[in-house]
């Protein structure tokens, strides 16, 4: 719309009006209302320290709670396992269980109670059979060996006492596993216990650092007229070609995906369900450069550690028949005759198998990131990267296609994780608070690993992906 000459004059007059202001008085009236830098810093550090404290509290609680659960509560679960009431009874000579004189063979069912090595109880029968299988990860220790008809020893009137304290004292719950069985029958009792310990030093958390700041976008041309904005949300600032270094460190959780490759295997897929992730650590050191429109390129090193724990505390009842004393007959002259034959046997097996595996990887990381939203000093960013494993180390136990079901990693030993998959994909979202040369933020990430194992004709494949959250610090030296 064209302005008339008069309107132009009015505009010019309004624009160029001048006033005499008392600047000193104005400054005196304004200054008390200005927010000082200190108070802003104080608010920022108060909020930031609160976030850090919350993060540490939650992660600490999570870590120790899991640790406590895995090392104590599961053990105590065994303590409260009540042995199945035995149907075995003590029979006076020449009497049936009902008190009648024995006139013919009587079959007495027996009960076999299998108990974990952390339980203490006393046989109420006058005879018991005990069978104890001990886990030895290198030799045996699979439930397949725990059949009740194997190696049964018989003793009479023997009290079975398993020293709980002994078991606990010698157990490293994190790193050990054991299967034991004890069988009680009317025929006799024998207890044999042995606890195998596996002691692997706990790996210290490796610190690592990082973060990303998102550069700024937009190549907006300067505005000739003022722009009204309801809430001062402004497009991201143009300030490309800044270099940055990012340190991030935080906790992760492993997402495990196991799959059997062939049918001819010893272990069942049910074994995989006993695996669960433990909190671990991920750290990054990244160097990057900001580009236009909020994009940035970065590269650096990533340390990632996955800890996976196997806990099996199942209690399994199995029924079968074994050879034993079917009946006892006492003649009038006091001669006792026993008849051998098949007797019913119930076996209650309480498994207490625990092991862990730890995978540590040092990776080369390269990726691209972008500022998605910027609100004042706070920005939301996203990034994707490719990680290449430079070096990896493994510790603990892993599934093996053998009756023992799992095998311990040994230094220098050829195992299925040798030559593991090298390339991983990574994506992340971050929220950052920017200061002049620093940016502080939290960054969530997901590292996708299709298969941690490669080749080797392995009987199963496992993809150990990682999800986690990190605290990050980015420094912009403005070279």
Partner 1 sequence: MTEKEIIRLCKKRNARGQRAFVDQYSDLIYSICMRYVGSRSFADDCLQESLIHILNNIDKYEDRGKFNSWLSSVTVRKCLDWIKKEKRKASVQLDHVAEPFSDEIISMKLEKEEVLKFMELIPDNYRIVINMFLVEGYSHKEIAKYLGITESTSRSLLSRGRKIIREVFENEKMLVVYKNSGSKKKIVSKH
* Residues of the shown chain interacting with partner 1 in the complex, contacts defined by CB under 8 A: 3-4, 6-7, 9-11, 13-15, 17-19, 21, 23, 26-27, 29-31, 33-37, 40, 216, 218, 220, 222-229, 232, 234-239, 376-377
Shortest separation between residue 31's beta carbon and partner 1, angstroms: 7
The rounded distance, in Å, linking the Cα atoms of 244 and 472 is 12
Q: Which is nearer to partner 1, 234 or 269 (CB)?
A: 234
Report how far residue 314's alpha carbon sits from residue 317's, in angstroms, rounded to the nearest whole number.
10
State how beta strands 178-179 and 127-130 pair. unpaired
Task: Provide, rounded to whole angstroms, the least separation between the CB of residue 37 and partner 1.
Answer: 4
Tell me whether residue 17 or residue 335 sits nearer to partner 1 (CB atom).
17
Q: Which is nearer to partner 1, 77 or 218 (CB)?
A: 218
Q: Which CB, 5 or 98, lies closer to partner 1? A: 5
CB 386 within 8 A of CB 367: yes
Alpha-carbon span 244 to 212, nearest angstrom: 8
Q: What's the distance, Cα to Cα, between the start and end of the chain in Å?
A: 49
* Residue 94, both tokens: 């020449």
C-beta of 5 vs 457, nearer to partner 1: 5
Tally Cβ neighbours within 10 Å of residue 424. Answer: 24
Closest separation between CB of residue 386 and partner 1, Å?
33
CB of 50 to partner 1, least distance (A): 22
Per the DSSP assignment, residues forming a β-bridge with 26 are: none
| Closer by beta carbon to partner 1, 30 or else 80 | 30
- The DSSP output letter for 199 is -
Q: Which residues contact 208 (CB under 8 A, 6 or more apart)?
A: 247, 248, 249, 281, 282, 283, 284, 285, 302, 303
Q: How far is the CB of 42 from partner 1 (least distance, A)?
A: 12
Nearer to partner 1, 47 or 220 (CB): 220
Shortest distance (Å) from residue 290 CB to partner 1: 14
CB of 244 to partner 1, least distance (A): 18
Of the candidates 296, 212, 290, the residue with the CA atom closest to the CA atom of residue 248: 212
Distance CA(170)–CA(132), nearest Å, equals: 17
């Amino acid at each position: 719309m064209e302005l008339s000459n008069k309107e132009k004059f009015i505009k010019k007059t309004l624009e160029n009006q001048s006033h005499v202001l008392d600047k000193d008085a104005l400054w005196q009236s304004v200054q008390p209302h200005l927010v000082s830098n200190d108070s802003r810093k104080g608010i920022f550090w108060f909020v930031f320290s609160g976030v850090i404290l919350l993060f540490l509290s939650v992660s600490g609680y999570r870590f120790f709670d899991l640790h406590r659960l895995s090392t104590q509560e599961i053990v105590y679960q065994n303590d409260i396992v009540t042995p199945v009431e035995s149907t075995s009874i003590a029979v006076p000579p020449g009497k049936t269980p009902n008190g009648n004189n024995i006139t013919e063979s009587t079959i007495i069912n027996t009960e076999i109670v299998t108990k974990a090595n952390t339980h203490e109880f006393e046989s109420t029968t006058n005879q018991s059979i005990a069978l104890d299988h001990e886990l030895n990860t290198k030799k045996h220790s699979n439930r397949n060996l725990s059949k009740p008809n194997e190696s049964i020893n018989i003793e009479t009137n023997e009290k079975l006492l398993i020293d709980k304290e002994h078991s606990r004292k010698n157990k490293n719950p994190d790193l050990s596993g054991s299967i034991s069985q004890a069988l009680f029958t009317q025929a006799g009792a024998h207890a044999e216990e042995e606890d195998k310990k596996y002691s692997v030093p706990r790996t210290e958390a490796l610190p690592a650092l990082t973060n990303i700041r998102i550069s700024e976008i937009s190549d907006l041309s300067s505005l000739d007229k003022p722009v009204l904005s309801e809430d001062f949300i402004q497009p991201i600032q143009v300030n490309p070609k800044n270099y940055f270094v990012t340190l991030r460190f935080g906790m992760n959780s492993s997402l495990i995906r196991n799959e059997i490759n062939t049918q001819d295997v010893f272990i069942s897929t049910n074994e995989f369900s006993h695996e669960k992730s433990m909190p671990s650590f991920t750290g990054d050191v990244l160097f990057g450069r900001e580009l236009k429109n909020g994009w940035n390129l970065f590269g650096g090193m990533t340390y990632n550690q996955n800890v996976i724990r196997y806990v099996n505390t199942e209690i399994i009842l199995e029924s079968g028949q074994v050879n034993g004393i079917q009946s006892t007959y006492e003649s009038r002259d006091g001669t006792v005759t026993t008849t051998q034959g098949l007797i019913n046997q119930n076996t209650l097996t309480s498994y207490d198998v625990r092991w862990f595996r730890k995978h540590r990887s040092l990776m080369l990381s390269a990726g691209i990131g972008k500022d998605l939203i910027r609100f004042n000093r706070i920005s939301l960013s996203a990034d994707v990267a490719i990680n290449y494993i430079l070096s990896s180390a493994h510790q603990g136990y892993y599934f093996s296609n053998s009756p023992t079901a799992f095998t311990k990693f040994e230094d220098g030993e050829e195992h299925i994780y040798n030559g593991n998959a090298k390339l991983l994909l990574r994506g992340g979202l971050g929220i950052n608070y920017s200061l002049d040369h620093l940016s502080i933020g939290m960054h969530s990430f997901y590292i996708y690993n299709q298969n941690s194992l490669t080749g080797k004709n392995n009987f199963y494949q496992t993809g150990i992906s990682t999800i986690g959250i990190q605290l990050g610090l980015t420094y912009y030296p403005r070279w």
